[in-house]
Amino acid sequence: MREALNQWDFVLAAYAIGIIGTLALAGWSWLAMRRAEARRDRIRKQR
């Protein structure tokens, strides 16, 4: 017997994981880059 699955549940789960994960990775990479460059510039300015 075939169980009744709502296909939209699977579609929405895939989109939620894909979009949230991609945004988190891009945001994390951008913030980590900004933090590392700010630290480097701060060390360069120190006498």
Partner 1 sequence: MMHGFANPTRFLKLARWLTPLLLCSGLGIVGAALAYSLLAAPAERLQGETVRILFIHVPSAWLGMMGWMAIAAASLTELVWRHPLANLAARAAAVPGAFFTALCLVTGSLWGRPAWGTWWVWDGRLTSMLVLLFLYFGYIALAGAVERDGGSSRIAAIFGLIGVVNIPIIHYSVLWWNSLHQPPSITMGNSAMAPEFLWPLLAATLGFSLLFGGIVLARMRMLLADIQAEARLRRKAMEA
Distance CA 6, CA 8 (A): 5
Does position 8 interact with partner 1 (CB under 8 A)? The reply is yes
12-41 positions binding partner 1, by CB under 8 A: 13-15, 17-19, 21-22, 25-26, 29-30, 32-33, 35-37, 39-40
11-26 burial: b if 16+ Cβ within 10 Å, else e: eeeeeeeeeeeeeeee
What is the contact surface with partner 1 in residues (CB under 8 A)?
5, 7-8, 10-11, 13-15, 17-19, 21-22, 25-26, 29-30, 32-33, 35-37, 39-40, 43-44, 46
